[in-house]
Chain A
Amino acid sequence: MKVQNNKAWFMVMPVLILVAISAIIPLMTVVNYSVQDSFGNNEFFWVGTEWFQEVLASERFHNALLRTLLFSGIILAIEIPLGIVIALAMPKRGWGVSVCLVLMALPLLIPWNVVGTIWQVFGRVDIGLLGHGLASLGIDYNYTQNNLDAWMTLILMDVWHWTSLVVLLCYSGLVAIPEVYYQAARIDGASRWAVFRFIQLPKIKRVLLIAVLLRFMDSFMIYTEPFVVTGGGPGNITTFLSIDLVQMAVGQFDLGPAAAMSLIYFLIILLLCWIFYTVMTSYDNDEQSSSNKGVQ
C-alpha cells in the first residue's frame, strides 16, 4: 500500500522543478558564493562567515543602508498621506471616476528606466523643463552637482511614479465602505474629520497595510530610476544599497562580499516587512483575543 503514496511526488514534481529553477538554485548559488573566496581560475576557498563580518562592519555598507532607510522613510511619509488625500478627493460615482482612474494608472504603466530617463531630461538645467525653469527663476538647481537637489529630484520622481498605487489601493478600500456608515455618522453628527478617523481610516486599514508594504519594499530595493538619473551621485550621495550591490558585484567583481551583502539585504527587507506587518495587524489580534474573552 505504501508504494501508492509515491504517486504524490510525481504530482508535485513540476512545481518543485519550477521553484527549484526559479528560486532555490539561484539562492543557493548566492549562499555558495557568500561563504567562499575565489582567486580566479574557478578555484574556491571556504571562508565561513568572513564576508558577512566584513560587510556588516564596513562603513560603506552602513552609509548605503542609512541612505536607503532614509529614502524609504521619506517616500512612505509623503506617498501614504498624499495617496489617502487624493483617494478621498476622487469622485465616487459618475463619469469622473473612469477619468480619474485612468489618469492615476498612467504613471504606473511607464517602465522604470523610461521614468528615470524622463526625469533625467526633465531636470537638466540646459534643456529640461524643470531644471531650466528653476534656473530661469533664479534658483540654483543642479541635481548632478548638488546633494540636496539630487535627493529632491529622486523623491519627486518616486512620488510622481508611485503615489498612484497608494491612491488606487486606498480608493478601492474607500468605495467598499457601505453607504450606511456615512448615514449613521450624519445621524450622530460626526465631523468630516471624525468620519475619516473613525470610519474611513479603520476600513481602509488593510489595503493601507498592503500599500505600505509594497511601497516600502519597492523603495527599499529601488535601483533603475536613481541609476538612470543620478547614477548614485553626486559622489555617492544617492548610492542606495541596490546600486552599491551592483557596483560591488558587477563593477568590482567581488562575488563573495556581494553575495553576503545581498543575503543581508534580503534579510533586512524580510525583517522590516515583518515588523510593519506585525505592528499594523496587532490591532486585529487584540480584537480577536478580546472577542475570545467575550465567548468565554
Chain B
Amino acid sequence: MASIKLQEIAHRYPSSDDYALRTLKQTWGDGGAYALLGPSGCGKTTLLNIISGLVRPSEGRVLFDGVDVTDLSTEQRNIAQVFQFPVVYDTMTVAENLAFPLRNRKLAKQEIDLRVADALAMLGLQHRANDRARSLSADDKQKISLGRGLVRTDVEAILFDEPLTVIDPHLKWQLRTELKKIHQRFQHTMIYVTHDQTEALTFADQVIVMYQGAVVQIGTPQQLFESPEHTFVGRFIGSPGMNVLPCNIEGADAVFAGNRIPLQRVISDTGQRYELGVRPEHIQLSASAGIPLNVTSVEDVGRHKIVRGRVEDTLINTIVNDGVGIPENPRIVFDTDKINLYADDYRVGND
C-alpha cells in the first residue's frame, strides 16, 4: 500500500495536438478511496493509465511513497487494475485465472492455492472455481478481474476503470458494496474512474471531478453538491444538475432577468461573465412572490416531481416534493443562502 503523488503530470498523445491531460498536481493518501469523475474523454482513463504505467506521461513525475516510478514498467509497479470490460483468460478455469498473476511472480504452489482459495471465498465464486472462466456472466468475470488483483500481496493500489459499465443495474449495487467491504478489510489505496456520479459518490471518500483534461474540483461528495467550484461540477453532479443563470452584478445584488437577488456581500464587478448557480432542490415554487416561471413540463420521478420551465431564455429545473401542489402560475423563490456565484465558470469565494 502506498501513497501516490503526481508531480506536474501532463500528457499529450503523439497523434494529437491538444493535451489529453493538463498539468496536474495531486497526492493520493495511503489507503484512501478516491473516485475520478467526469464525462467521456476528459482524461480520466489517461490519468489512470499513467498511474499504472501503461502510459508514460509526456511531462511530470509519478511517485509511490516518495519513490519515483515514472520510468518503471507496469510489471514493476505493483498496481492492480480492473478494466471497463472484464478481462479473463478464456482457456483457464476461474481458479487458474486467479492463480495466473501469482504463477507469473513465481510463488510457491501451496502459497498460491491458499491465496486463490481465499480470494474465491471473498468473491463468492467457490462453486465456480473449476469452471472455464469464459462461461461466466459479465459480473462474475469482472469479479475475476478484481480477484487477480486481490490475490497479490504486493499490490500498492487498485485502479478501477469504469468497472461496472457492462454490469446489470441490480448487480452494480451489490458489486459496489463488495468493493467497499474489500476496501475496509484491506485498506488498499483505491482509485475508481467513472462517469456515473452515484457510483463516485457512494464509493469514494474524495471525488476528483475532471473536465476537458483538467481537475476542476476535489472534495467530499457533500462539498461537490453544496459548493461546486466550477459550473461544470454543478451541472454534472445532481439530478437534475445545478441551474446556471446568467446575471449581472450590481453592488451586493445579482440581477437575473430583471430581478435583484441579494448576494449578502458586495462583489466588485471585474467585467467577467457572471452566473448564479442554484440547485433545483433550493428553489421553491410560490403562488404569490418571486419570479414568474413559464412551466414547460412536469416529470414525476416517484419520490418527487421535476418541474422544468423557463425564465426568459434560461432553462430552470426545480424539485417539488410529493404531496406539495404546483401553483397554477408558479413563481420561483431561491434559497438565497444556497446560491453560488460564478465568474467565468469558477466559483467566487466567500472571502
- Which residue numbers of A lie inside 8 Å of B, CB to CB? 178, 180-181, 183-184, 186-191, 194, 198-199, 202-203, 283, 286-287, 290-291, 293-294
Contacts and interface: CB of A to CB of B under 8 A. Distances in A.
28 contacts: A180-B87, A181-B87, A183-B49, A183-B54, A183-B74, A183-B83, A184-B81, A184-B87, A184-B145, A186-B53, A186-B54, A186-B74, A187-B148, A188-B100, A188-B104, A188-B148, A189-B75, A189-B101, A189-B105, A190-B104, A194-B104, A198-B91, A198-B92, A199-B89, A202-B90, A290-B131, A291-B132, A293-B131
A15 B148 CA distance: 55
A191 B132 contact: no
B134 interface: yes
Contacts of B49: 183
B202 interface: no
Given A183-B83, A186-B73, A186-B74, A198 B132 contact: no
A189 B104 contact: yes
Given A187-B149, A198-B100, A294-B131, 6 more contacts: A184-B148, A188-B100, A194-B100, A286-B132, A294-B135, A294-B136
Interface of B: 49, 52-54, 73-75, 79-81, 83-85, 87, 89-92, 100-101, 104-105, 128, 131-132, 134-136, 145, 148-149
Contacts of B53: 186
Q: Ordered nearest first, which 4 A-B pairs have the shortest CB separation?
A: A291-B135, A184-B87, A188-B101, A189-B104
Given A178-B85, A198-B89, A198-B91, A187 B135 contact: no
A291 B281 CA distance: 48
Contact of B52 (A187, A202, A294): A187
Contacts of A186: 53-54, 73-75
Contacts of A199: 89
Contact of B83 (A180, A190, A286): A180
Tell me the dominant secondary structure on chain A's binding face.
helix
A286 B134 CA distance: 11
Contacts of A283: 91
Given A294-B128, A294-B131, A180 B74 contact: no
Nearest to A191: B104
Nearest to B53: A186
A194 B101 CA distance: 11
A191 B105 CA distance: 10
A195 B64 CA distance: 27
Contacts of A184: 81, 83, 87, 145, 148
Contacts of A191: 104
Contacts of A194: 100, 104
Contacts of A190: 100, 104
A6 B63 CA distance: 79
Nearest to A288: B135
Nearest to B103: A194
A29 to B, nearest CB: 47
Of A183, A194, A287, chain B has the most CB atoms within 10 Å of the CB of A183
Contact of A180 (B84, B134, B148): B84
Contacts of B132: 286-287, 290-291
B106 to A, nearest CB: 10
A191 B53 CA distance: 17
B135 A290 contact: yes
Contacts of B74: 183, 186-187
Nearest to B83: A180
Nearest to B145: A184
A189 B90 CA distance: 17
Contacts of B145: 184
B325 to A, nearest CB: 51
Contacts of A188: 100-101, 104, 148
Contacts of B52: 187
A208 to B, nearest CB: 14
A294 B131 CA distance: 9
A178 B90 CA distance: 14
B168 to A, nearest CB: 15
Nearest to B52: A187
A290 B128 CA distance: 10
Nearest to A284: B134
Contacts of A290: 131-132, 135
B43 to A, nearest CB: 17
A8 B145 CA distance: 53
A202 B79 contact: no
Contacts of A203: 90
B81 A202 contact: no
A62 B208 CA distance: 75
A203 B89 CA distance: 10
A287 B91 CA distance: 9
B80 A187 contact: yes
B75 to A, nearest CB: 5
A194 B100 CA distance: 9
A181 B149 CA distance: 15
